[in-house]
Amino acid sequence: MRQTLLESLIHGPLTEAPPTADDAALAELAKSLERNARRRLGRSLSIREVDAGSCNGCELEIHALNNAFYDLERFGLHFVASPRHADVLLVTGPVTKNMREALERTYRATPDPKWVVALGDCALDGGIFAGSYAVAGGVSDVVPVDLHIRGCPPSPTAILKGLIALLET
Amino acid sequence: MTSLREIVAQGCADGRRVETHRPWPRVVVTAEGWSAVTGELAAGRATMLGLWGESGVPGVVHMAAITEDDNEIAVLSLECPLQTFPSVGALHPAAIRLERAIHSLYGLKPVGAADTRPWLDLGFWDVESPLGPRLPAANPRPAYDFLPVEGENLHRIPVGPVHAGIIEPGHFRFTCAGETVARLEQRLGYVHKGIDSLMAGATIDRAAKLAARTSGDSTVAYGIAFARAVEAALEIEVPARAHYLRALMAELERLANHFGDIGAICNDASFAIMHAHCGILREQVLRAADACFGHRLMMDRVVPGGVAVDLRADAPAILRSALKIFRQRFPRLVELYDNTASLQDRTVSTGVVRADYAKQFGAPGYVGRASGRAFDSRKAIAYAPYDALDFTVPVLTAGDVNARVWIRVHEVEQSFALIEQILAGLPDGPIATPIDSANNGGEGLGFAEGFRGDVLAAVRLENGRVAHCHLRDPSWFQWPLLETAIEGNIVADFPLCNKSFNCSYSGHDL
């Protein structure tokens, strides 16, 4: 332990320079965000992640945001355990029929003002799982979506770009 | 008493062997043969590898099993003209959930089953038995009865489907006496996407993409299992270089997941420094994978016939330097784990899986290997290139969270050595054999050892397309054991136990 801690003092931090906001994401957000809501929240957003049917690939990359390289919390973004504490719902997966009601209830439990970010290609329109008897569709088929972050799964950098856009609008 | 081998031999002699099924035999059995196999499973002389349904007229149930003494594999199929089959779960508990899923999805009823409640069907679909008779769903649906728990001063804690962390959805129903868990009952199926139905009629390319998205953390393992099944069906020889590149990806996937798990288990015991450092190692694996194969999780890099991309020229150097860092840093983290008494206090003797349960359920991966079950498909089936590589399969007997951590630690060490061997012995040559789309069809069974355990893929191809495909996640034989492991532990230790299993919801729910 001593050696590990000492090395942490000697070496510089692993955390990388922040990526710039994604232009496409900014454009999408400009339409949906109001300035007064932004003023009320400041540069701090609490995110509640909801897996509505994903293969868990997106979850792995969302997890990675918390590692030392991406260090999500330096942007004032952090994950919370309850939708009641959240400003943002970060939803992954095609929405399965089995998860539709749970997603709707999570959405209703999130206080206003709130945003929904749909993460991954499946969240956009059901992706490769679209058309199944067990899939309700993309996230926007169930709850209103403010921002889509594409990718299968999107890399942590791509997710960061989208979320930073959310802060900068 | 008829052994699995004799049942298969009898089936072959009677001309009931399906000749197009490769590489292991598939025989169509009678109800008596089916029951005899069930007896073999119940007696512990064979282990179930999978149990699944197939729609058609009549519907069919299939079971893959392996003999305990010499690892002989066979698939047994029973036609169900009356939409029924003799229950396997009545005698062999490992089959219960699989049978319930067959009933819910295909409408084929296990006769004699003790538990007839639906599984995966949570009452939200438009039809019942969506892959079978497609009956209009009853409205309103009957309520789901959790198992009764009797006694004084018991209380229930419902958890999920939306959990507190960044994890997949599922429902856990705890019944507790004070802090002690008297019973945990799981209810799963929330991420059921209908993969069986999407597979039917899909092109091989699309089916491979679906397989790669059955459980994202095991995308390489699913890719390999599916590809091997297709290659067996079409009798395709895969180039040696592709076998090695697949194994390289599989070991990188194992490293990334084991690093992540070791850190996350410690984090659930509030020991954050392990989590932070293991998270760095995991990220470095993913970055190396991205640099070598062009995708952090290596999704869609394994394709039927071989692999989709060759190693970049500088990849061996990237991997060797990553390995050098891992070999330096990982032992220190292991030492830290081993020397921290407060951490050991949480993991030692917590969440014990009994060895007889591990054997009965054929518990795959670290869950089985921490409880004395030495099965590893890289050894037992010895598919290429593992037949030519030198490695050992760690086995412990304590069966607790600590043992599951140590199995991962030892497997990480083995993967280091495997990656070095693969890089040293990587053959030259092509990376894929083209698939002849005019090739009509056939049936194949494929396995791959993912970080979590063995993934099974069963495929039937017709006219160059997938007619039927079933993918069996190792979690099917781990989830029920988690229910047994938590019994008598305190509620606060559940996250720790759960993380030490790290079962897949998506892989299980399909």
How far is A62 from chain B, CA to nearest CA, in Å?
8
Region B26-36 average pLDDT: 93
**Which of A69, A132, A155 is closest, CB to CB, to B194?**
A132
Q: How far apart are CA B52 and CA B60, in angstroms?
A: 9
For residue A130, what pLDDT is reported?
Answer: 95
Taking an 8 Å cut-off on Cβ atoms, the answer to whether B260 and A63 are in contact is yes
* Residue B295 falls in which region: left (phi positive, over 0), alpha (psi -120 to 50) or beta: beta
Burial B270-301 (b: 16+ CB within 10 A, else e): ebebbbbbbbbbbbbbbebbeebbebbbbbbb
Region A75-96 average pLDDT: 93
Contact between B83 and B106 (Cβ < 8 Å): no
pLDDT in tens, B393-415: 999 999 999 999 999 999 999 99
**Range with the lowest mean pLDDT among A64-78, A97-111, B242-256?**
A64-78
pLDDT at residue A155 above 70?
yes
Q: How far apart are CA B292 and CA B316, in angstroms?
A: 8
Cβ neighbourhood burial of B467 (10 Å; 0-12, 13-18, 19+): middle
CA atoms within a 13 Å half-sphere pointing along the CA-CB vector of B115 = 23
Taking an 8 Å cut-off on Cβ atoms, the answer to whether A102 and B215 are in contact is no
For residue A43, what pLDDT is reported?
Answer: 66
pLDDT in tens, B149-174: 888 899 999 998 998 889 999 999 99
For residue B416, what pLDDT is reported?
Answer: 97
Interface of A with B in 71-110 (CB under 8 A): 79, 81-83, 93-94, 96-102, 106
ipTM comes to 0.94
Interface of B with A in 173-202 (CB under 8 A): 189-195, 197-198
For residue A25, what pLDDT is reported?
Answer: 67
Three-state SS for B345-362 is HHHCCCCCCCHHHHHHCC
Which structure tokens are listed for B212? 């790669």
pLDDT in tens, B448-483: 999 999 999 999 999 889 999 999 999 999 999 999
What percent of chain B stands above pLDDT 90? 88
Please state, in angstroms and as integers, the Cα–Cα distance from residue B239 to each residue in A55, B174, B246, B429, following that order.
30, 50, 11, 7
**Measuring CA to CA, which residue among A54, A163, A107, A25 is closest to residue B166?**
A54
CA atoms within a 13 Å half-sphere pointing along the CA-CB vector of A166 = 28
pLDDT at residue A72 above 90?
no
pLDDT band of B279, cuts 50, 70, 90: very high
Hey, is the C-beta of A50 within 8 angstroms of any chain B C-beta? Answer: yes
The three-state secondary structure class of A147 is: strand
**Which of B197, B283, B297 is closest, CB to CB, to A69?**
B283
> Could you tell me which chain B residue has the CA closest to the CA of A92?
B168
The three-state secondary structure class of B72 is: coil
pLDDT at residue A32 above 70?
no
For residue A26, what pLDDT is reported?
Answer: 59
How far is A42 from chain B, CA to nearest CA, in Å?
24
Q: How far apart are CA A39 and CA B70, in angstroms?
A: 69
Residues on chain A touching B168 (C-beta within 8 angstroms): 51, 54, 56, 59
Rounded to 5 degrees, what are φ and ψ at B48?
-75, 135
**Which of B125, B194, B216 is closest, CB to CB, to A56?**
B216
Taking an 8 Å cut-off on Cβ atoms, the answer to whether B192 and A102 are in contact is no
pLDDT band of A36, cuts 50, 70, 90: very low
The rounded mean pLDDT for chain B is 94
Residues on chain B touching A96 (C-beta within 8 angstroms): 190-193
Confidence (pTM)? 0.94
Of B8 and A130, the one with more pLDDT: A130
How far is B367 from chain A, CA to nearest CA, in Å?
20
Strand-pair partners of B46: B67
Of B83 and A167, the one with more pLDDT: B83
**Range with the lowest mean pLDDT among A121-130, B8-17, B129-138, B339-348?**
B8-17
For residue B407, what pLDDT is reported?
Answer: 97
pLDDT band of B321, cuts 50, 70, 90: very high
Q: How far apart are CA A21 and CA A166, in angstroms?
A: 8
Sign of CA dihedral B130, B133, B136, B140: negative
**Measuring CA to CA, which residue among A140, A161, A141 is closest to residue A151?**
A161
Of B195 and B134, the one with more pLDDT: B195
Three-state SS for B191-236 is CCCCHHHHHCCCEHHHHHHHHHCCCHHHHHHHHHHHHHHHHHHHCC
Could you say which DSSP state residue A79 is in?
E
How far is A66 from chain B, CA to nearest CA, in Å?
9
Q: Are strands A45-51 and A77-79 parallel, antiparallel or unpaired?
A: parallel
Residue to mutate among B162, B226, B466, B475, with most A CBs inside 10 A, is: B162
